[in-house]
Structure 1
Amino acid sequence: MTTLAGAVALYTIARLALVVVIALVIIFGAKIVGVEVPVLVAAVFAVLIALPLGMVVFKSLRLRVNDQIARVDEQRAAQRTDLQARLRGED
């Protein structure tokens, strides 16, 4: 089981790597065809392509992050309930 920070970091790194790979494919694919594509243009198109693609490709990572967020929310709710009970004088 991973922590929330670890799951978010892994998901973020995977998404960024996908953008880099797509940008490189655009740049080198254009060079093969004989067209020069600026890096910024390739990066913009890579981000636009990677947004929906990452949701599908990295579904398991996204679900892991969602699960960790739900666990943290449950823990915080339990701690808040416990604190409120102690403040009311209940044990």
Structure 2
Amino acid sequence: MPAGRLRRTSDGSRTRSRSCCRTRSRKPAENFDDLVERFHLDGTGRLLDLGCGTGQLAIPLAAHVAEAVGMDPETETLVEAARCARAAGVTNVIWEQGGSSQ
């Protein structure tokens, strides 16, 4: 089974989601354009994505900041996020294991 985010099934067991690169929903560009405008992302700032999962926000927004940090408690999810970033040619995201208390 490919790497991906672990999730609970209805019977309580854990299963791995399919790869984000294959199943990532196509978020409309205007949603990201709105975030870029609203938060004045001009390519010089830093972005912190807590609970980043497989990078659905950090990867597309990385083009609008100097550096992004994606943080998630799940190691497997971060491995998948890094793989998806490489596949997208994104090199300015640091992936860290942890949560909001760190």
- TM-score clears 0.5: no
Larger Rg: 1
TM-score (norm 1): 0.24
TM-score (norm 2): 0.22
Higher relative contact order (CA 8 A, sep 6+): 1
More strand by share: 2
